[in-house]
Amino acid sequence: DGGITQSPKYLFRKEGQNVTLSCEQNLNHDAMYWYRQDPGQGLRLIYYSQIVNDFQKGDIAEGYSVSREKKESFPLTVTSAQKNPTAFYLCASSADIYQPQHFGDGTRLSIL
Amino acid sequence: AQSVTQLGSHVSVSEGALVLLRCNYSSSVPPYLFWYVQYPNQGLQLLLKYTTGATLVKGINGFEAEFKKSETSFHLTKPSAHMSDAAEYFCVDAGGTSYGKLTFGQGTILTVHP
């Protein structure tokens, strides 16, 4: 079945540590997105990529980094500069900007 | 600026009752409106979408929504609630950007009582 796979489902980070969240899609979608979800705040866009080797900052990019070396993959690194990283992170993809985005099942990041 | 407002952060209904989740949008360009559902610790699943054409849109699981331009609304309804409908619902506008940025409502948590 086509879809988006996020791993791991749960992730723990120590203070000062960088962690990388994986997102893989086999939908052949050009566009991919990373969102952060906090209770009562809906979803906020971190980074997006419209095509391989290109990505842009979203609304809350500070403390995060991404890469898009392959069409299928869009990993997100939460750096030590992100002071409040505890959240639910969702990856999404779409065929084009007019089509609905398909979401993965998310990664829940917590601080030890 | 584009915005989406969901009226009521929590809605509670009895099983078998009508479900009505309200959504109003504010956009200077034609909206592309979606409703998504999210179950605990899962991603978002598309319920239905409105882009152009028929203003009454039918989705999965018996849900439907009506686009009313004059009221800038896109309310989600289901005639008879089921226990499995308990989840959080998001109204989303994808119109107005060059890169598909989604404008999310704050979400409405639906509780269904036996």
Residue B1 has pLDDT above 80, yes or no: no
Give the pLDDT confidence of B15-68 residue by residue, as tens digits.
999 999 999 999 767 788 999 999 988 999 999 999 888 899 999 999 999 999
Q: B102 or A18: whose pLDDT is higher?
A: A18
Alpha-carbon torsion A49, A54, A59, A62, what sign? positive
Please give the average per-residue pLDDT across B64-92, as a whole number. Answer: 96
pLDDT value at residue A20: 96
- pLDDT band, very low/low/confident/very high, at B97 (cuts 50, 70, 90): low
Is the confidence at residue A47, as pLDDT, over 90?
Answer: yes
Query: Which residues 6+ apart lie within 8 Å of B95 measured at CB?
Result: B2, B27, B29, B30, B31, B32, B33
The chain-wide mean pLDDT, for chain B, equals: 91
Q: Cα distance from A106 to chain B (closest Cα, Å)?
A: 6
Query: Tens digit of pLDDT for each residue in A65-80?
Result: 999 999 999 999 999 8
Closest to A106 measured CA to CA, from A94, A88, A79: A88
pLDDT of residue A40 exceeding 80, the answer is no
A27 close contact with B: CB closer than 8 A: no
Q: What pLDDT shows up at residue A16?
A: 86
Q: Do A56 and B101 touch (CB under 8 A)?
A: no
Residues A90-100: pLDDT tens digits?
Answer: 999 998 777 78
Asked if the Cβ–Cβ distance from B90 to A42 is below 8 Å, we say yes
Residue pair A22/A4 in contact by the 8 Å Cβ criterion: no
How many angstroms away from the CA of B52 is the closest CA of chain A?
11
The mean-pLDDT minimum among A13-17, A51-55, A61-65 falls in: A13-17
Tell me what pLDDT residue A15 has: 85
**Residue B27 pLDDT:** 76
How buried is B16 (Cβ within 10 angstroms: 0-12 exposed, 13-18 middle, 19+ buried)?
exposed
Check if A101 contacts B (Cβ < 8 Å): yes
